[in-house]
A and B are shown apart, each in its own frame.
Chain A
Amino acid sequence: MTYTIDEWFVVALARTIRDREVVFHGFGSPCAQVAMHVARRTHAPDMLLIEGAMYAINPDPPFIPPTSNDNSLKQGAAYSMRFEEFFDAASRGDVDRMFLSGGQIDGYGNTNVTAVGPLDRPKVKLGGGGGGCNISATIGQLTLWTTRHRSGRTLVSSCDFITDIGHVTPAGDRKALGYSGGGPQWLVTELGIFDYDGSGIARLREMWPDVTEDDVRSSTGFEFEVASDLGTVEPLSPAELAAVRAIDPLGVRRSEFDPGELQRTFEVALH
């Protein structure tokens, strides 16, 4: 059976979730949103899924709409948190994982969703960070992702503006800043998957099978480590693929990708 990069990508995001974790995604994040539902329907049935801008607990939406505060996203949820209930839980350290992306991401996993270029006259005014600039400090671990690695403009040597906290900032590392959250654990891109070494620098762990290390290097603005056992992303299982297609019949996950990327197809073994 044939599948496309967007399907494999959200499964790779889903696999960063462990069962029994409390997990949150922000608005405007369809890949992370689909990934959380895929995880709950496959390997993490007892996770606590907090649905983005609805703050609904473990909903079973009939589909993922292209906006993150539609009522369809709280269908089947016995309870929805109030806005402050979620942000308080995140601030006191009761949320284990959050998905974060950025228009710029540096080697330490700091992200910029505010502005590219000078702040008074930005080249690109990005949308803004929602609640990230506080809760990226206190949430247990972060899964970062971008679908725009190949552009060469996303993974940068330093962010023009730091909206959300990675491992090390010009003002110090997490320990010096007094932050309880563990920071970025994974960075998943359409080219490969990074984790972070002891000094807080991204380390390439896996690549998609149609990508070379040179492809990754030429698209990345920061120096990164390469794992000694650099490998290929684990293939999709039929169950994972079925979960992606069931939760996202409208294909909103695809809106994050350049149309050219969506031509990347792979085969899943049916056995």
Chain B
Amino acid sequence: MFLDPDKRVDLSTAAGMVADGDVVALGGGLSARLPMALIREMIRQGRRNLHVVGSAHSLDVDMLVAAGAITVCEESYVGFEQDFGLAPAYRRAAESGTIQVKESCCVTILTQLRAAEMGVPFLPVRGIKGTDMRRLHPEYAEMTCPFTGEVLVVVPPLRPDVALLHAPLGDTRGNLYMEQPYVLDEHFASAARSVVATVDKIVATEELVERGITIPAHLVRGVAEVPFGAHPASSYPHYAYDRSATGAYIRAAGTQESLESYLDEWVRSTDEAGYRDRQGSAELERLTTWSESVDAWKGLFA
């Protein structure tokens, strides 16, 4: 438990709470609430040998793979859905064997996190038998239920070293407010040894209490205020997904060489203030107009 009354840190300190070789849980999912500022800052700091775990993810994992920061990937999905398709850097690394793919299943990860949360050495799952998932996971086992005689696959606890979460709002103590879907963030927070968070804005505790606290401060080791800290993922209620900035990454990701130029230009040669400047304040502000009308919202995806 983390009991300091003031958990505020700058982004560099926050990213420094992740060590090379850590098992890192990535919060959010797909195009929502990805901890992108922390991802970019870890790339600036040259983090290496990470083992990432989570559910369905996209740019966060792909960018870390592109930067050579990941050794083991244990996500249930990495990609850009039907819109931009397969994840380019992840795919190249998996096909050339430069990362170890321990692809998992949302339910299995959830069950393993629950085992860690409960402090028990294993839990059973309903599926997996008949699939090839155990070829990727020799650590799973089978067990006969002492009550029914059923044979079930059992999985060990998953206790990430650190969970990286992004929330739209937080307070100085580290309480976090999120909108649904919370995906696995609540489970990551309880199961991981620590939570490092970014928030778009730090507000008074009273305001958070009014909205409802999603992740309590005692689970959070550090919180950094970073406007547009999830960009180009969404962070509702503040801003929608930036499909066009994501498309720019995908276009740059055709080869590792062009991807290196992208990382140099957008990540390594600047900090987050510089990143926001280069994205353009008008373009970022446009993402906050989703609530004005259905046409404005729809227009962000056109």
Contacts and interface: CB of A to CB of B under 8 A. Distances in A.
Contacts of A65: 241, 301
Q: Is the interface of A mostly helix, strand, loop or mixed?
A: loop
Interface string A95-116: 0000000000000000000110
Contact of B79 (A28, A80, A119): A28
Chain B CB within 10 Å — which of A29, A90, A128 has the most? Answer: A128
A56 B125 CA distance: 24
Contacts of B29: 53, 69
A61 B56 CA distance: 22
Interface stretch (A41-49, A165-173, A193-201, A262-270): A165-173
Interface size class of B (residues with CB under 8 A): 35 or more
Given A87-B110, A130-B105, A66 B55 contact: no
Nearest to B81: A28
B97 A63 contact: no
B78 A127 contact: yes
A138 interface: yes
Given A66-B301, A163-B133, A129 B105 contact: yes
Contact of A130 (B55, B86, B132): B55
A164 B106 CA distance: 13
A129 B136 CA distance: 13
A82 interface: yes
Nearest to A71: B236
B82 interface: yes
B77 A27 contact: yes
Given A67-B241, A71-B236, A128-B76, A123 B298 contact: no
Interface in B61-114: 75-79, 81-83, 86-87, 90-91, 94-97, 101, 103, 105-108, 110
Contact of A125 (B86, B181, B294): B86
30 contacts: A28-B81, A53-B56, A53-B181, A69-B31, A70-B234, A70-B240, A80-B180, A83-B182, A83-B184, A119-B132, A119-B136, A121-B95, A121-B97, A124-B86, A124-B95, A127-B77, A127-B79, A129-B103, A130-B77, A133-B107, A133-B127, A134-B127, A134-B128, A137-B127, A163-B133, A165-B127, A178-B151, A250-B298, A250-B301, A255-B83
Top 6 closest A-B pairs, CB basis?
A: A134-B127, A127-B79, A131-B106, A28-B81, A125-B94, A128-B77
